[in-house]
Structure 1
Amino acid sequence: MRFYTALATTLLLFGILIISSCSYKQQQVLFQQMPATADTARHAYAAGSGTSDYHIRSQDILQVRNLQNAQYIVDQTPSAVSSAGGNTGGGTIAGTGQTYKVEDDGTVALPLIGHVPVAGLTRAEAAAKIEGLYRKDVLKDPIIDLRIVNLKVTILGEIKAQGNFPLVKDRTSLVEMIGEAGGLTEKADEKTIKIIRGDPSKPEVTTVDLSNLKTLADPRIILQNNDIIYIAQNKRAVKNDQLQNVTTTLSPALIILNTALIIYTLIRR
């Protein structure tokens, strides 16, 4: 009888331990000072240009505004892209910044100067070209600011907010984008964050260790258009999930067995 009582108690305690072990909360350790690794040194030459060297393509959405327009000072809300994807404004380049789609032929239709070929140009090159055309015949001393508003990255995995996030400036870092998405979850593995970029048929995969302070100076963390950032679970979280699955499977059986042993023990008294 004592044997069965001890067995029932042991099984019950075993079940409690399995369940309680799943409540562990992992905390990340970020930006520690560590010696330089071979991987970081090997890629130190890479240019972290971000989107500054991105070449405009058809279907891109451009926001064009003249910074000399005084209206820009009091109204900084850019207009939305029209449903037709073309010119959303009137006859002048407003300070608030209209949005225009690059057509299939590589041109963008702008007020008063018509179709301007921009495909293949960088953002800075396109801005300089458009500014020159407006200065020549239309506007006095224009200062044209051009942005490509459809550039984005995708964040998946152990992040507070998954999804697509716009690249609003030329050199946006991985750390900035993680902050924009609300930060890592408690299950995230901060040492093996993957950045997937390039041709989908032969993507380049970069593994980033955010526990290393030197990563902040790594040019590879400057994001590019269509980068995919994947944050996997840490080992502790994976083990907890496995234990949770075991617990879910065994808990009903353990409860039934413990109940049966308790009833059997009471009957034998």
Structure 2
Amino acid sequence: MRFLLLVLVCFTGIMILGSSCSYKQNQLLFQKRTATGTTTEPAPAIIYRIQPQDVLQIRNLQNIRYIVDEVPQTSIAQSQSGNNISQGQTYQVEEDGTVALPVIGHIQVAGLTRTEAAKLIEDLYRKKLLKDPIIELKVVNLKVTLLGEVKAPGNFPLLKDNTTLVEVIGQAGGLTPQANEKNIQIIRGKDKSQQVTEIDLGDLSSISDPRTVLQNGDVIYIAQNKRAIRSENLQSFNTWAQPALLLLNTALIIFTLSRQ
């Protein structure tokens, strides 16, 4: 009986100590290569073309009077993403693919790249109104959604071309210690066209992997690693096991004392 009591006391102590152990991050990012001595081809440029309902942020870097209000207004993209966007008035592309701009009126921009649309607007303002304008154009409603084991999950705007997975994770503050860095999922498309791409950030070649170049609407999910799952399972077991063991220990102590 005394031996059984000693075993239960020791087991309870181990459970309590195990549940209070600190969890250390031991992720290994960009450590291995897919093949020694080989190089990865650079990621091909993914060029986005403007679509109806897109929100364009436009300003003239030479003269802001005709493009930007003196007090920049809150854009649609700002209200949706919660991110502050640099000075510049926003304009929404209509269903017919046109955007209405001051003085020059409606112009067709759907199907154009960001650079092509900026050049078109620049040429029209140069012909009709401005001297040597320099037009900056951004599509500010493009975004990806980052979920799971990152320090600041949420929606992140794609304000530049060829934004990569590593860049967005950096914007989110990096991975948490519980993240599975070897299996990060990029979910792209909807319904039957939906695709899931798995990325291993433990592989150095993932930095230049063309599959990590993000597109509008991508959902990135970072699951927990096995270490974190085991830790959570242990915590769950301890939640009900510790009270039961303590109750059993108390009962055994009372029973032992009563026999003496």
The TM-score by the shorter chain falls in which range?
A: 0.7 to 0.9
Cross-structure match for 1:179? 170
1:49-64 map, 5 Å: 49-50=45-46, 53-64=47-58
1:126-137 map, 5 Å: 126-137=117-128
Q: Determine if the alignment matches structure 1 residue 32 to structure 2 residue 23.
A: no
After superposition, give the CA deviation of every residue in 1:158-183 in whole Å (9 maximum; x if it has no partner).
00001001112112221111111111
Q: TM-score, normalization: structure 1? A: 0.82
Cross-structure match for 2:225? 234
Deviation at 1:156, TM superposition (A): 0.2
Cross-structure match for 1:80? 74
Q: More deviation in 193-202 or 147-156?
A: 193-202
Aligned 8 A contact 2:43 2:209 in 1: no
Q: Determine if the alignment matches structure 1 residue 150 to structure 2 residue 141.
A: yes
Deviation at 1:15, TM superposition (A): 2.7
After superposition, give the CA deviation of every residue in 1:190-229 in whole Å (9 maximum; x if it has no partner).
1111111234432222111111222112122122111111
Cross-structure match for 1:16? 16
After superposition, give the CA deviation of every residue in 1:3-46 in whole Å (9 maximum; x if it has no partner).
3432432442353355246x433321111142339xx99xx668
Deviation at 1:235, TM superposition (A): 0.6
For residue 62 of structure 1, what is the amino acid of its counterpart? Answer: L
Distance 1:126-1:67 versus aligned 2 partners, 3 A rule = same
Q: TM-score, normalization: structure 2? A: 0.85
Q: Determine if the alignment matches structure 1 residue 140 to structure 2 residue 119.
A: no
Q: Determine if the alignment matches structure 1 residue 266 to structure 2 residue 257.
A: yes
Aligned 8 A contact 2:75 2:90 in 1: yes
Deviation at 1:127, TM superposition (A): 1.2
After superposition, give the CA deviation of every residue in 1:83-128 in whole Å (9 maximum; x if it has no partner).
9x9xxxxxxxxx9421101112211100001011111211112112
Cross-structure match for 1:201? 192
For residue 66 of structure 1, what is the amino acid of its counterpart? Answer: N
Q: More deviation in 24-33 or 175-184?
A: 24-33
Instruction: Structure 1 unaligned segments of length 5 or more: list them.
Output: 86-94
The 3-state SS of whatever aligns with 1:16 is helix
Counterpart CA distance in 1 for 2:34 and 2:51 is 42
For residue 145 of structure 1, what is the amino acid of its counterpart? Answer: E
Taking only aligned residues, the RMSD between alpha carbons, in angstroms, comes to 2.9
Instruction: Structure 2 unaligned segments of length 5 or more: list them.
Output: 80-85
Deviation at 1:186, TM superposition (A): 0.6
1:98-113 map, 5 Å: 98-113=89-104
After superposition, give the CA deviation of every residue in 1:115-169 in whole Å (9 maximum; x if it has no partner).
1111121111211221121122221222211110111111000000010011121
Identical columns (%):
57
Aligned 8 A contact 1:155 1:230 in 2: yes
For residue 15 of structure 2, what is the amino acid of its counterpart? Answer: G
Counterpart CA distance in 2 for 1:188 and 1:82 is 33
Give the number of aligned pairs: 250
Counterpart CA distance in 1 for 2:215 and 2:34 is 27
Distance 1:7-1:147 versus aligned 2 partners, 3 A rule = same
Runs (4+) of structure 1 exceeding 3 A deviation are 44-48, 75-79
Counterpart CA distance in 2 for 1:82 and 1:148 is 11
Counterpart CA distance in 2 for 1:82 and 1:17 is 52
Counterpart CA distance in 1 for 2:32 and 2:4 is 55
Cross-structure match for 1:225? 216
Cross-structure match for 1:120? 111
Counterpart CA distance in 2 for 1:96 and 1:19 is 51
The 3-state SS of whatever aligns with 2:251 is helix
